[in-house]
Amino acid sequence: MAIGERFETDLRIALEEGDIDAHYQPVVTLHDGALAGFEILSRWYRPGHGMIPPERFVRSAEDAGLICTLTENVLRRACLDAECWPEHAFISLNVSPLQLRDGSLSDQIFSLLEEAAFPPARLEIEITETALVTDLPAAREVLGQLGEAGIRIALDDFGTGYSSLFHLQAFDFDKVKIDRSFIFAMQSGNDAMNMVDFTLALGERLGLVVTAEGIESPEAAALLEERGCQQGQGFLFGRPMPAREICQWLRARRKNGENLQ
């Protein structure tokens, strides 16, 4: 069996047996450090090969027609894990470009949320610009259906695409996420800082929540908060963790008197 075929076979087995894990990275409100929610991230430990980078097995899942199964498995697990988390905390999931071309995506998500008795208002769907340019009419229809149900829509990696402003005008987003590359560079480069300021001003004008990704230092968090950024995500607040560690993380925050609301 060829290497590529073996990889796909192992991926199929992992999906069938529930071996693709869901990890969660905290998102906090910058002005008070309160928990806002968690981004869902897929993790696969392939026996004999170690941890497989998500971008590799997600692309393989797309090529093999398994991406819907991967998304459903991870989202179902996240809905169950979130039952013991604060009720206001959202869970955020990135959707593949291929899935946005599938008119049944919204029905699949609605069915899964109903099965798990999970409120649509606690779910956030993240979309990259690559997903939007693939098929604008299909994306507009799917995202419109999700939004009407109360699911929030976020434009991920803002600033890295060639038509970010067009997409903000064409779709009803609730949030934009500033790409981590700008956060890393903003303290040492005016161009990156200007891009951050532009995004924050745009978010305020359009009534969008702005989340900064890749925050690793208190200085970066303070700088963003001073400039009006509402939410932050990054190693400063917590690395991606399995559900059992999230419970420990929450208990530690309560013990330290930190704000969870």
Report, as an integer, the average pLDDT of 44-50. 92
Report, as an integer, the average pLDDT of 152-175. 81
Q: How far is the CA of 191 from the CAs of 95, 116, 158, 177, 194, in angstroms? A: 30, 45, 15, 18, 5
CB-based contacts of 153: which residues, under 8 Å, 6+ apart? 124, 125, 127, 143, 146, 147, 171, 172, 173, 174, 175
Q: What is the pLDDT of residue 129?
A: 76
Q: What is the pLDDT of residue 135?
A: 76
Going from the N-terminus, what domains does the chain have, and what CATH number goes with each?
3-255 (3.20.20.450)
Q: What percent of the chain has pLDDT over 90?
A: 67
The pTM score is 0.92
Q: In this predicted model, what pLDDT tens digit does every residue of 73-87 receive, in sequence order? A: 999 999 999 998 999
Is residue 27 within 8 Å of residue 212, measured between CB atoms? no
Report, as an integer, the average pLDDT of 120-146. 87
Residue 24, SS3 per DSSP: strand
Range name among 130-139, 159-168, 206-215 with the lowest pLDDT average? 159-168
Q: How far is the CA of 166 from the CAs of 65, 135, 162, 196, in angstroms? A: 30, 14, 9, 18
Q: What is the pLDDT of residue 86?
A: 93
Q: What is the pLDDT of residue 64?
A: 93
pLDDT of 163 higher than 60: no
Q: What is the pLDDT of residue 2?
A: 58
pLDDT of 113 higher than 70: yes
Q: What is the pLDDT of residue 168?
A: 82
Q: What token pair was written down for 235?
A: 């190693």
Report, as an integer, the average pLDDT of 181-206. 88
Assign 252 a pLDDT band (cuts: 50, 70, 90): confident
pLDDT of 235 higher than 90: yes
Phi, psi values for residue 110, rounded to 5°: -60, -45
Q: What token pair was written down for 184?
A: 């890393």
Instruction: Give the residue from 222, 230, 220 showing the smallest Cα distance to 184.
Output: 220
Q: Who wins on pLDDT, 36 or 100?
A: 36
Range name among 6-15, 107-116, 178-187 with the lowest pLDDT average? 178-187
Q: What token pair was written down for 241?
A: 């963790």
Is residue 222 within 8 Å of residue 215, measured between CB atoms? no
